[in-house]
Structure 1
């Protein structure tokens, strides 16, 4: 019993109530965000769109996501975290409800792009709010729980989406909208504004306030973002290139589903044990190890020709993803000046829509012309990124120390709304 209490304290202890309300809102949001999983099927089956047109509409959602992360970061630093989260959730609920009754393909494409914007807006605000309220020595645990909630919610969403899609596509969109409203209700009722301002007399003397450009010209931060982009490209192999490789090996959709389900199950079961494994180790070394595991897992697919090999490789790269999540978010938070937290988050989150474009486009060509050699290249790029984390680690640590030393004391300021 004492061991269980110690494990719980190490995993989730010492986190403020506001974090848990944010965590609950995120879990509800992810568990209900399933309509877009079936958007291409909805377009082809219910609206008669061709596969090419369906792909274009889904691509519009992705393009909206790239805009949304930047917009969400700017608004979260200007309006506040709570206001941005509420605006994004309420907008998403309204758009999903409108999609449920829309029939014209052009209108659906426009709505899909707008949904992409409002679905991506909360990410910088969520993380910035977590950094605002969670003490520094507890943030790794908080980010670990955030990653766990995200994956648990997506697993639930995948299960619910299949059932609802069988019954009614309209129900798919309406239940999604209802879940988004439920998340907004939790935030409205329980999450205060967490954005802080410098005390009077502590404002920056420069007339020009720092903005998004600061993040886009921060070399130390951009090196970290570039390494995260590589990690995202590696991770995207699972949903973009691996299904094609499995088909070439004579394995059907059910085999692919087993591999994906194994990864999701490992995260849901094992992610809560990660903090005790990594807390005593330097973040650059943890990220080097995790990226190396991703490289090894995907590189091993060069030898895969049967389901058991794919399953073993999936275990390796999933463990890498699990180890990477907390330190990746921690470093991102540490490198951001307090007044630009959400903007830095928005630049960081751009890596994911960028990876979702690069992974299938470049990877498809690579697989077509190089065959299994594609996986050797993926593994080599991953190993280079692992080395990059080790090389960049000392300068990141110096930068974090300088930011902590320069940070002025801050007091909360409630913003309107």
Structure 2
């Protein structure tokens, strides 16, 4: 473990760690979205269907933000877009704490979805700008780790804070986002490449050749990049399976007679496994071909959710969560690294925006499709379908193995990292 932690954190530039810190601060105060449905139904007395509509509107706002945030990151810069996103999020979050009209709440939550999620492609683009290609998998892994640490702590703290009034959740969330913006303003530099030479140190490769002649790459170019869009499509399939934990899993457990407390224990294992295993698992897989990692991760996730159909006790559900969580922590950082490696430097914002759209779309469509399948065909059909979709995603990655084999550079050996860390510090 000590070697894994040392290897995971060595050699990354200091600006990355400030970005990592800002992400952690943001997520530590991320109270509202986790408890929004409970706030609307238990505190405001609104219907479950209205809470579902609000959740869908937040997802729709996130889908818009994925593209909008990516385009803005390329046009006006990563740092300005990130600061606008954080400041707008803080303002909307604070206003939501005082609003009582349901229609206004719905509109503001949709706006919140845009404001909060516009930061995602910016953060991913900054990581791709700052971190050398061979270290991006572990950089994305560390950022994902921060997200999950913050989510776990915020979820636990939000329940205690809510006992003193939900207004404190909204205001606390707004303050955490403002602190995040302050860290970004003072410590995170603008990283948008002005030219291919800036982004590659004067070197050009196949991934950047197009941006050299056309630095203002449009969304049409991104959508016509078949190799990249194949990665986006497979990520969408993976995310559709993964998103079943949000609604289909608790619904299934409820149908089987389990309580909300049982679901809380089961899903809490997901965050615990991510926090404990993210670094050692990705460190242990550092010499495995990234495309192989994606294949195995898709199979694990599909298989884990497929086993849910056989679960009849809380310990069995916990085992299934452990299996698909391993797939989650293997897939997500590696998939993000592929998306970053396939993007021309001057269009990383747009590419990351389209990549983020696959997750926003799955967040919106996955629960809806899951509910439809449960109502129409039963929960067993849904979980069997998850196993099939996971296998389809794995087959898709296998078919792309030759095209993606050399996209990500091999990781730097541990013994070379201290020297690279000094070099990164001097460049900073």
Task: Give the TM-score taking structure 1 as reference length.
Answer: 0.91
Shift of 1:205: 7.8
Counterpart residue number, 2:97: 100
| 1:382 lines up with 2:379 in the alignment | no
Query: Which of 290, 313, 322 is 1:283 aligned to?
Result: 290
The number of residue pairs the alignment matches comes to: 398
Does structure 1 retain, via aligned residues, the 8 Å contact 2:133–2:408? no
Instruction: Give the secondary structure class of the aligned counterpart of 1:167.
Output: coil
Counterpart residue number, 1:248: 255
| 1:218 lines up with 2:215 in the alignment | no
Instruction: Give the secondary structure class of the aligned counterpart of 1:192.
Output: coil
Structure 1 CA distance for aligned equivalents of residues 180 and 211 of structure 2: 36
Structure 2 CA distance for aligned equivalents of residues 256 and 71 of structure 1: 35
Structure 2 CA distance for aligned equivalents of residues 138 and 212 of structure 1: 27
Does structure 2 retain, via aligned residues, the 8 Å contact 1:76–1:84? yes
Does structure 2 retain, via aligned residues, the 8 Å contact 1:96–1:177? yes
| 1:391 lines up with 2:399 in the alignment | yes
Residue range with higher mean Cα deviation, 328-337 or 199-208: 199-208
| 1:17 lines up with 2:14 in the alignment | yes
Does structure 2 retain, via aligned residues, the 8 Å contact 1:22–1:187? yes
What is the correspondence of 1:258-407 to structure 2 with a 5 Å cutoff?
Answer: 258-371=265-378, 372-397=380-405
What 5-or-longer segments of structure 1 have no aligned partner? Answer: 402-417
What is the correspondence of 1:22-171 to structure 2 with a 5 Å cutoff?
Answer: 22-171=19-168
Q: CA distance change for structure 1 residues 48 and 246 in 2, over 3 Å: closer, same or farther?
A: closer
Q: CA distance change for structure 1 residues 38 and 400 in 2, over 3 Å: closer, same or farther?
A: closer
What 5-or-longer segments of structure 2 have no aligned partner? Answer: 205-209, 410-428
Q: CA distance change for structure 1 residues 208 and 90 in 2, over 3 Å: closer, same or farther?
A: closer
Structure 1 CA distance for aligned equivalents of residues 301 and 384 of structure 2: 12
> What do the CA deviations read for 1:344-386 (whole angstroms, capped 9, x no partner)?
1111111122112222222122223332132112101111211
Cα RMSD after superposing both structures: 2.1
Q: CA distance change for structure 1 residues 253 and 192 in 2, over 3 Å: closer, same or farther?
A: same
Residue range with higher mean Cα deviation, 37-46 or 132-141: 37-46
Counterpart residue number, 1:234: 241
Shift of 1:208: 8.7
Does structure 1 retain, via aligned residues, the 8 Å contact 2:59–2:361? no
Residue range with higher mean Cα deviation, 195-204 or 225-234: 195-204
Structure 1 CA distance for aligned equivalents of residues 212 and 310 of structure 2: 60
Does structure 1 retain, via aligned residues, the 8 Å contact 2:290–2:408? no
